């Protein structure tokens, strides 16, 4: 837990340096995000950091339940794992979506996003707007 916590701290410092205090170069924050996530190595590093965060949160939620005296319940172990996966997966969608939309086309990226997280109503709205 201590090692993953230190890695997450390093990630947070780098993340803030990149996105909060990063060089907008006359553009908007959106332009900065797209420019950063067009680099495959940065996307890979971001996703790896989110995996570490997911494992860290899994352990954190499990430990919190254990501190409350609820650790013997198998359902809470599954909830801990699900919360870690949902949070880490949710944060990983943005860089992966931007990277694939730049290099493989918007239709494939929207399909991947639909499979990963979007609901049918959102996809129908995108189709109606002729994005898909």
Backbone angles phi, psi at 44, to 5 degrees: -60, -45
- pLDDT of res. 132: 45
- pLDDT of res. 107: 65
The secondary structure of 38-86 as a DSSP string is TSHHHHHHHHHHHHHHHHHHHHHHHHHHHHTT-TT-HHHHHHHHHHHHH
In the chain the first and final C-alpha atoms are separated, in Å, by 42
Question: What value, to the nearest 5°, has the Cα angle with vertex 43 and ends 42 and 45?
Answer: 65
129 HSE (CA, 13 A, CB side): 7
- pLDDT of res. 6: 93
d(CA 125, CA 114): 12
> Cα dihedral sign for 33, 38, 42, 44?
positive
- pLDDT of res. 106: 63
pLDDT, one tens digit for every residue, the chain (132 residues)? 789 899 999 999 999 988 888 777 777 888 888 889 989 899 999 999 999 999 999 999 888 888 888 876 778 888 888 889 899 988 998 898 888 888 776 666 666 666 665 555 555 555 665 544
- pLDDT of res. 68: 86
């Amino acid at each position: 837990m201590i090692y993953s916590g230190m890695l997450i701290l390093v990630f947070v410092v780098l993340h803030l340096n990149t996105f909060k205090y990063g060089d907008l170069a006359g553009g908007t924050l959106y332009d900065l995000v797209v420019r950063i996530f067009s680099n495959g190595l940065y996307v890979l590093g971001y996703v790896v950091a989110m995996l570490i965060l997911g494992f860290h949160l899994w352990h954190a939620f499990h430990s919190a339940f254990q501190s409350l005296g609820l650790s013997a319940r198998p359902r809470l172990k599954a909830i801990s794992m699900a919360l870690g996966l949902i949070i880490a997966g949710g944060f990983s969608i943005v860089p992966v979506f931007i990277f694939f939309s730049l290099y493989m086309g918007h239709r494939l990226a929207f399909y991947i996003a639909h499979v990963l997280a979007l609901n049918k109503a959102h996809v129908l709205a995108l189709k109606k707007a002729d994005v898909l």
